[in-house]
A and B are shown apart, each in its own frame.
Chain A
Amino acid sequence: MKHCLIVDDSAVIRKVARRILEGLSFRTSEAEDGEQALSRCRTEMPDAVLLDWNMPVMDGYSFLRALRELPGGEIPKVVFCTTENDVGNIARAMRAGADEYIMKPFDKEIMTAKMQEVGLV
């Protein structure tokens, strides 16, 4: 079973994402900010990270850069999931090493398509 770490400061978004991902046969874990997410990745590297951009403590962008420095940090497929829907931000995230990008709001179909795109469904 593939493991997806959901990183978002909104409990509602985490819950929606969890339901959808579990429906796609993912095992999920959650973090409220980038720093929590990093420490989870140090313990267990997930197969995928669903990543918000704007979060307190450490934002998604800084998390992504720190993640890719960790041993094994190149493994997870990182899918940004954010309201930063501006093309400039998307390009910046992709340059920073994200694999896919979901513009909020999203639904099951979009999540499925994106997880298919990164080869996890």
Chain B
Amino acid sequence: MLDADFDFLRAYLKERSGLSLSAEKRYLIDSRLGPICRRFSLTGVPDLVTKLRQGRDRALETAVVEAMTTNETFFFRDKTPFDIFKDTILPQMLAARAGKRKLRIWCAAASSGQEPYSLAMILDEARAKLAGWQIEIVATDIAAEVLDKAKAGIYTQFEVQRGLPIQMLLKYFQQKGDAWHISPAIKSMVTFKQMNLIKDFSQLGQFDVIYCRNVLIYFDQPTKTDVLRRLSAALAPDGVLLLGAAETVIGLTDALAPHASKRGLYVASGAGRAGAGNTGAGNATAETGKMRVPAGGLRIAAGG
């Protein structure tokens, strides 16, 4: 591959999906775009770059962006973020939202659905306490292909064995041949939408809980900062954000602060909230001038 082609693809991907491709990751281009070349009957990466430069093949553009994303995920991945949801976030939100009885959760890089479905299963287990509540799980991803899989809710034996306790498999899945289908009840708790995190997402509204795990790692610093700033603007004043194990807000934004003891959990710090509107037009007004609810709603304290 010519340096010029690599540079083009690098800039192209950064602009489309935020993916920051370092020189060491150059090999990924060949391994992931090779199959795309075959699918679109192109002779190789140079041919593909020529087509992209012409900018007339939308299907090809989408395929390239999606092929370069890493979609690795599994049920209850890393366990702790889900224990935190069950033992810390949910009880405190139940108290803080007892009046409204409404909870909005967003999985911002949901991939093939294991993360939002894991949360849905936890909520189902807590069903007795949630009678009369209106709970929404919005799951988004940039890639249509993984979203289709998520919507279908059909997983292989391998996928259901990574992280999913066997009792949950028995309870929430139906076996059809070699495939495992998630139950319609769990499926109906999640709404899937295509959404690019580097674009304006303010139309999704405000959330109490945001899971944005294992996607910021692919972005460069300014992109991380921008996404985090807009995520914090999409959070309720007492809302919480969960990041992946290799991700943090430290050094990127002061609008969010790590929780004192729960790793991966972040809360609004109160700083930098004004002007934290989304990039799109017209949404800054919704945030500016709005008073922050004083502490006492959610008692998830920020700490050092």
Contact = CB atoms under 8 A, between A and B. Distances in A.
Interface in A95-119: 100-103, 106, 109-110, 113-114, 116-117
Nearest to A98: B166
B158 interface: yes
Contacts of A116: 79
Q: How large is the interface on B (under 10, 10 to 19, 20 to 34, 35 or more residues)?
A: 10 to 19
A16 to B, nearest CB: 15
Interface in A64-115: 85-87, 90-91, 94, 100-103, 106, 109-110, 113-114
Contacts of B167: 94
Which of A86, A114, A117: most chain B CB closer than 10 A?
Answer: A117
Interface residues of A, number: 17
B162 A87 contact: no
Nearest to A111: B161
Interface in B95-132: none
Q: Is the interface of A mostly helix, strand, loop or mixed?
A: helix
B178 to A, nearest CB: 8
Contacts of A117: 165-166
B161 A114 contact: yes
B157 interface: yes
B162 A109 contact: yes
Contacts of A90: 166, 169-170
Contacts of B175: 86-87
Interface of B: 74, 79, 157-158, 161-163, 165-167, 169-170, 174-175
Interface of A: 85-87, 90-91, 94, 100-103, 106, 109-110, 113-114, 116-117
